[in-house]
A and B are shown apart, each in its own frame.
Chain A
Amino acid sequence: MSQIITGPAFVLGDDVDTDQIIPAEYLSYNPSDASERKYFGMYALSGVPRSQSGLPGGGQRFVEEGQYKTKYAIVIGGKNFGCGSSREHAPLAIAEAGAKVVVAEFYARIFYRNCVNGGYLLPCETTQRLVHEVRTGDQCAVDIASATLTNKTTGKTYTLRPLGDAKPIIDAGGIFPYARQTGMIKAG
């Protein structure tokens, strides 16, 4: 995982559930099939109600119609990001679209676990409510080493919470590489 992630931010509200992140109708694609996996990028965050999609103001698409990739590098959320189902397709979809990090106040636990164990996305937590501090399209930089998010558009910097227990697994790149490094399963 690179230590500094920069690019425009896409801002969402509270309780963004997994049906908003990847609507159930697209779950028939098999994420393990290379030719189908890209569709999760295409439909990432397509279930977010229009008024909430790209705050403030809303009405913005995370991924443009007909595209597989997003122009946003960072997703900002409020409370309880990723609540709802256990579908790992949710962090996978955001990552497949090309975003690298989500910054929210806190996460639903299965989503957080899937981000970490699957090694898809970096789930960062903030002490402040960034939903009102960052506007969709603002250029931001997340610096992992110093645990900060800087909004380059406004020039303000915010503190991120330490990664805690999940850090060794995040550093390894997921639960499988972690288990190999620590000798739990045979290094393949």
Chain B
Amino acid sequence: MARMTLTEKIMARHAGRPSVEPGENVWVGVDILMTHDVCGPGTIGIFKEEFGPAAKVWDKDRVVIIPDHYIFTAEEKCHRNIQILRDFVKEQGLRYYYDADFVQGSGMPSPYRDPNKTNYKGVCHKALPEEGHVRPGEILLGTDSHTCTAGAFGQFATGVGNTDAAFAMGTGKTWLKVPPTMKFTFHGRIPPYLTAKDLILAVIGQISVSGATYKTMYFAGEGIASLTLEDRMTLTNMAIEAGGKNGVCDVDEKTLAYVRKRSTRPNWEVLKDDPGCAYCYEHAWDLATMEPMVAKPHSPDNKDTARNCRDVKLDRAYIGSCTGGKITDMIFAATILQGKQVKIPTYVVPGSTEVHSDMLKLNLKGQPKQAGQKSVYEVLQDAGCQIGPSGCAACLGGPSDTFGRLNEPIACISTTNRNFPGRMGHKDAGVYLASPLTVAASALTGFVTDPRDYVSGPIETGLAGVA
């Protein structure tokens, strides 16, 4: 029997074959197809054109639609696009749709009042696991390049365009080239001044924004085991920033506890790399010697240490997105900002309404806050942060009235994932990508700041984002 990687095994099983090899093209069955408000209307259009106006999706329980990109904007076309999703969901009887139910009529929608009382979720890659749509061993396609995030749960997840999505919508199938796997091993335990963001920026800085093109990025070692599930999602989320087809982590008790509690289906298959399987690249890091990193403008591989950039003056800080807007990211930032004041405008956007709700409920240790304690939300607010409603917001710029968007050529430090020219708005704005710890420390000084100046001990995130 051939020795296979996790990704090869998933592809072989979904192709109905005993084994596959890197470079082969295979047709596979898809478990879940996700789309959102930016690519959904185009996908639906192609689906109808190709399969006919009366066509039905291949499985109404496996097409998941999550509006998240252009929600809080007055732009009419964005509201229209949400309506296209609603009409399609109704017509097809789709079971899993997370409507931005407060978007009614025209003008800037007023956000949900209570994050627990809306169907709306926010960023799709955060919502997918929360709502039980990710499972070990499955294949997830999404019309969004950061769909690779779900690989943290030991599955194959990748981004596709509208045509591929429309094809899968009608047939439940797609063709994939089996990717070779690159293995990145991290030894030791994650120290308190680092997060997974520093690890992935170091990796991308080493292999470049095209270093993993067509390949799987496998994050391994006891260093990865020491990360929270959310922090592992930060790693796999940014696999695409190195050009990767997908990113994966091993499944352990942390993964299983989460999936058992959330999954909409009872069964899944835990797979792992066979001992002695082939990797096309291997590199190992020791977490104890790694430093807080940034990616300077205008590329995620333009790496440097935060300390080297201490003379870089900043105009704004941004904490949000599928990469850096999870509840643990919020706790990391709040721990640094606690009892202090930001020096530059600092925008905070929860990755989902669940994150928003947890920010209101949990204290800085990730436990339900007791009388007299401050919530994560309160700590951030007291420090002078402006907190918006959940969604993609300024991560990808978006319409000019988007919360936190860089409408001028300013310098911003951000927990997001991409800093190509114009990504967060203005073409000449300079974006520094960094961990939530580094972004928070920098918000306090107005310069890129190494968080070791502020972190005094371990940051416990407790039950936050765990189950």
B213 at the A/B interface (Cβ < 8 Å)?
Answer: yes
User: Is B436 part of the binding interface, using a Cβ–Cβ cutoff of 8 Å?
Assistant: no
- Asked whether any CB of chain B lies closer than 8 Å to the CB of A184, the reply is yes
* Interface contact B160-A110, CB-CB below 8 Å: yes
**What does the 1/0 interface line of B29-70 toward A look like (CB < 8 Å)?**
000000000110110111011111000000000000000011
Q: Which of B81, B145, B397 contacts A110 (CB 8 A)?
A: B145
Please determine whether A117 and B421 come into contact, CB atoms closer than 8 angstroms.
Answer: no
Chain A 75-106 interface 0/1 with B at a Cβ cutoff of 8 Å (1 = within): 00001100111111100000000000000001
A65 at the interface (CB under 8 A from B): no
**Please, how many angstroms separate the alpha-carbon atoms of A85 and B162 in the complex?**
12
Contacting A at CB under 8 A, from B63-80, are 69-70, 75, 77-78, 80
Contact status of A20 and B420, CB under 8 A, knowing A49-B427, A188-B52? yes
B243, A83: Cβ atoms under 8 Å?
Answer: yes
Cross-chain contact A175 with B163 (CB below 8 angstroms): yes
B443 touches A (CB below 8 Å):
no
Interface-facing stretch out of B113-121, B164-172, B256-264, B333-341: B164-172
Asked whether any CB of chain B lies closer than 8 Å to the CB of A114, the reply is yes
Known: A49-B428, A86-B145. A109 touches B214 (CB 8 A): yes
Residues 372-390 of chain B: 1 if any A CB is under 8 Å from the residue's CB, otherwise 0? 0000000000000000000
Q: At the interface, yes or no: B9 with Cβ under 8 Å from chain A?
A: no
Whether A32 lies near B41 (C-beta < 8 A) is yes
Given the known A-B contacts A23-B422, A25-B399, A165-B25, are A83 and B44 also in contact in the complex, defined by CB atoms under 8 Å?
no
Q: Is B70 within 8 A of A106, CB to CB? A: no
A19 x B420 contact (CB < 8 A): yes
Q: Does the CB pair B420–A17 fall under 8 Å?
A: yes
Minimal beta-carbon separation of A24 from chain B (angstroms): 5
Chain B, Cβ-Cβ closest to A49: B421
Whole-angstrom CA separation of A179 from B163 in the bound complex: 12
B398 within 8 A of A: yes
> B161 contacts which of A79, A114, A184, A185 (Cβ < 8 Å)?
A114
Closest B residue, CB atoms, query A50: B427
The contact of A32 among B38, B44, B80, B177, by CB within 8 Å, is: B44
Q: Return the contact of A83 from the options B69, B164, B173, B209 (Cβ within 8 A).
A: B209
A54 to chain B, nearest CB (A): 15
Query: Contacts A85-B144, A185-B170 known; A28 to B77 CB distance under 8 Å?
Result: yes
Inter-subunit contact B45/A86 (CB<8 Å):
no
Q: Does A8 reach chain B (CB closer than 8 Å)? A: no
Cβ contacts under 8 Å, B69 to chain A: 27
Q: Looking at chain B, what size class is its interface with the partner chain?
A: 35 or more
**Closest Cβ–Cβ distance, residue B302 to chain A (whole Å):** 11
Which one, B162, B209, B299, B418, contacts A88 given CB within 8 A? B162
Q: 1/0 per position for A161-180, CB-CB distance to B under 8 A?
A: 00001000000001110010
B36 to chain A, nearest CB (A): 11
Complex: A48 Cα to B421 Cα, angstroms: 8
Residue among B27, B164, B420 having the largest count of chain A Cβ atoms under 10 Å:
B420
Given the interface pairs A30-B41, A88-B42, the reply to whether A113 lies near B420 with Cβ below 8 Å is: no
| A118 close to B210 (CB less than 8 A) | no
A5 within 8 A of B: no
* B39: chain A residues within 8 A (beta carbon): 86-88
Once bound together, how far apart are the Cα atoms of A94 and B142, in whole Å? 23
Q: Is A47 an interface residue (CB 8 A)?
A: yes
B159 lies within 8 A of chain A by Cβ: yes
A185 touches B171 (CB 8 A): yes
In the bound complex, what is the Cα–Cα distance between A31 and B268 (angstroms)? 36
A10–B396 alpha-carbon span in the complex (Å):
26
Say if the beta carbon of A108 comes within 8 Å of chain B.
Answer: yes
User: CB distance B45 to A32 under 8 Å?
Assistant: yes
Name, among A20, A110, A119, A179, the residue most crowded by chain B CB atoms within 10 Å (CB to CB): A110
Residues of A within 8 A of B41 (CB): 30-32
CA distance A62 to B164 in the complex (A): 28
Contacts of A84 in B (CB 8 A): 145, 418, 420, 423
- Of chain A, the residue at the smallest CB distance from B399 is A25
Interchain residue pairs A-B with the least CB separation, the first 4:
A32-B45, A88-B161, A114-B161, A86-B159
What is the interface of chain B, defined by CB distance below 8 A to chain A?
25, 27, 38-39, 41-42, 44-46, 48-52, 69-70, 75, 77-78, 80-81, 84, 142-145, 147, 159-164, 167, 170-171, 173, 175, 177, 209-210, 213-214, 243, 245, 299, 396-400, 418, 420-423, 427-428
- Besides A15-B209, A32-B48, A80-B243, 16 other CB < 8 A contacts? A17-B423, A19-B397, A20-B420, A27-B38, A32-B41, A49-B428, A80-B210, A83-B243, A86-B160, A110-B145, A110-B160, A113-B160, A113-B161, A179-B167, A184-B171, A188-B50
What are 25 A-B interface contacts by the 8 Å CB criterion? Answer: A19-B418, A19-B420, A24-B398, A25-B398, A28-B75, A28-B78, A30-B42, A30-B77, A83-B420, A84-B145, A84-B418, A85-B145, A85-B396, A86-B143, A86-B144, A88-B39, A88-B42, A108-B243, A110-B159, A114-B163, A114-B164, A117-B161, A165-B177, A174-B163, A176-B50
